A and B are shown apart, each in its own frame.
Chain A
């Protein structure tokens, strides 16, 4: 395969794949820290890049039934978490389109201030 195109979101505090350090997302995209995955604590992010998605699976979680896809790193295929495609219950709809990354599978590092600052992107409402 040729040279994989690797996206980058920039930001002041970056989250990358623990195995290959490919940039995934940043602190500004963090929606909630109150999630749990197979390896322990997990975070919900609004926008994550450099992922590959599995087929849709039906899963029953603590918060109800959801349709999810597992996500892995585009570069090294390490498992990272999952993305919510569809939530059956109304009060869980805020998760749709957002990605869970398990804390043990990602690495946090410092970014830097970019000039000019990245353009502002308004998000759907956040709920903790």
Chain B
């Protein structure tokens, strides 16, 4: 008998065992309910479900129902971790209404005196940077009651501020002007002072910038062919020749740079080993680009063709989000929500459009601005807050209707 000799040894040991310690040695609590229950649990995995009901079956069915309702909810905007299953009631189907979704203007920020071209929240969600044609950058602080006040005003830009990027540690912002601008401005947010102004040649056109995830290097470029890799003090470490850059983004691996060029191509550039790979080819001009926080999806505003969502890894167009008007101006969009499941974009019809990224039609259209909305950003830490920057000179902060208060800020 060679089968399971170990078992044979254990059983023989038990045969030899003195009576008192037999039960503890065999780990058997004696004839009774306790040991029968334990035995049933052990047998349960071998018995088909039609004969004996699997353990906790009702509970797992109820959890599945809760998860399904959550997935189907179009306005669901809270983190799954903070929502225990036990706190959801199943008396009626769960569905968030748009009242709990950011859809009401909570505050109108009118510190700028000209068209506001750009807005971007810091990575920790505590500040908002807005850039305008006036040409000033305003840094706003998000207070605990979710209202915003001006923290700093950064002046000195010559052509207007059309793009701002926060460093990963939120200590610096890099700002660019429009096509005429040949300089990159790097500001220290804490001190409210200019750290450095990078300028290689007055013929340059630097319109787009992105930080590497280590926060020490950044890439900057423009459509006249400049594509520089430099450090925080404006020293150019590398220059990639032959690319007319429209949009830039850095992946979290600290070396891959995603760049869209004027020929509607999105390619991956690596300044460490100087390799480049093709990623995506669009058919129409790419105006702006963002990458989701998990590096999985790319969001692009395509001139006259809506907002496209591509999967980076599979290189496939996953969604074409429809509804916006964009046939004259550069419009920026963003991902939003606790798991980046929402997309929001500005539009030339003065409204903010919000989609769930799996559905083509918008789930919310926010009206209030009186002119083109150039840029929308979603607070990465406060999923109920959306900011939109418009040609009407204001930035609107959108919050759910349920949040009280509201007002103007100078």
Interface residues of B (CB under 8 A from A): 115, 117, 162, 178-179, 223, 225, 241-244, 261-263, 265, 278, 281, 285, 287, 303, 326, 328-331, 372, 374, 391
* Contact pattern, A 1-12, Cβ under 8 Å of B = 1, otherwise 0: 111111111100
Which residues of the partner chain A approach B262 to less than 8 Å between Cβ atoms? 7-10
Q: Are A5 and B242 in contact (CB under 8 A)?
A: no
Bound CA span A96–B117, Å:
38
Taking chain A's interface residues, is the majority helix, strand, or loop, or is none over half, making it mixed?
A: loop
- Closest residue of chain B to A111 (Cβ to Cβ) is B225
Bound CA span A122–B241, Å:
26
Bound CA span A30–B141, Å:
53
Choose one: A6, A7, A9, A112; the contact of B242 (CB below 8 Å).
A112
Bound CA span A8–B391, Å:
24
Which residues of the partner chain A approach B265 to less than 8 Å between Cβ atoms? 119
Bound CA span A1–B265, Å:
27
Q: Are B303 and A3 in contact (CB under 8 A)?
A: no
Bound CA span A8–B224, Å:
9
Q: Are B242 and A115 in contact (CB under 8 A)?
A: yes
- List which A103-119 residues lie within 8 A (CB) of chain B: 112-116, 118-119
Which residues of the partner chain B approach A118 to less than 8 Å between Cβ atoms? 263
Bound CA span A122–B353, Å:
37
* Contact pattern, A 21-49, Cβ under 8 Å of B = 1, otherwise 0: 00000000000000000000000000000
Q: Are B244 and A2 in contact (CB under 8 A)?
A: no
Which residues of the partner chain B approach A2 to less than 8 Å between Cβ atoms? 115, 117, 328-331, 372, 374, 391
Which residues of the partner chain A approach B117 to less than 8 Å between Cβ atoms? 2-3
Could you name 29 residue pairs across A and B whose Cβ atoms are closer than 8 Å? A1-B328, A1-B329, A1-B372, A2-B117, A2-B331, A2-B372, A3-B117, A3-B178, A4-B328, A4-B330, A5-B285, A5-B303, A5-B328, A6-B223, A7-B262, A7-B303, A10-B244, A10-B262, A10-B263, A112-B241, A114-B242, A114-B244, A114-B261, A114-B263, A115-B241, A116-B278, A118-B263, A119-B265, A119-B281
Which residues of the partner chain B approach A3 to less than 8 Å between Cβ atoms? 117, 162, 178, 329-330, 374
Which residues of the partner chain B approach A115 to less than 8 Å between Cβ atoms? 241-243
Which residues of the partner chain B approach A1 to less than 8 Å between Cβ atoms? 115, 328-329, 372, 391
- Name the distance in Å between B330's Cβ and chain A's nearest Cβ: 5
- Name the distance in Å between B351's Cβ and chain A's nearest Cβ: 15
Q: Are B263 and A119 in contact (CB under 8 A)?
A: yes
Bound CA span A118–B326, Å:
25
Bound CA span A94–B368, Å:
48
Q: Are B243 and A114 in contact (CB under 8 A)?
A: yes
- Name the distance in Å between A47's Cβ and chain B's nearest Cβ: 13
Bound CA span A3–B331, Å:
8
Q: Which 4 A-B pairs have the closest CB atoms?
A: A115-B242, A2-B329, A8-B262, A2-B374
Q: Are A5 and B330 in contact (CB under 8 A)?
A: yes
Max chain B C-beta neighbours (<10 A), residue from A3, A8, A118, A119: A3
- Closest residue of chain A to B285 (Cβ to Cβ) is A7
Which residues of the partner chain A approach B115 to less than 8 Å between Cβ atoms? 1-2
- Name the distance in Å between A46's Cβ and chain B's nearest Cβ: 16
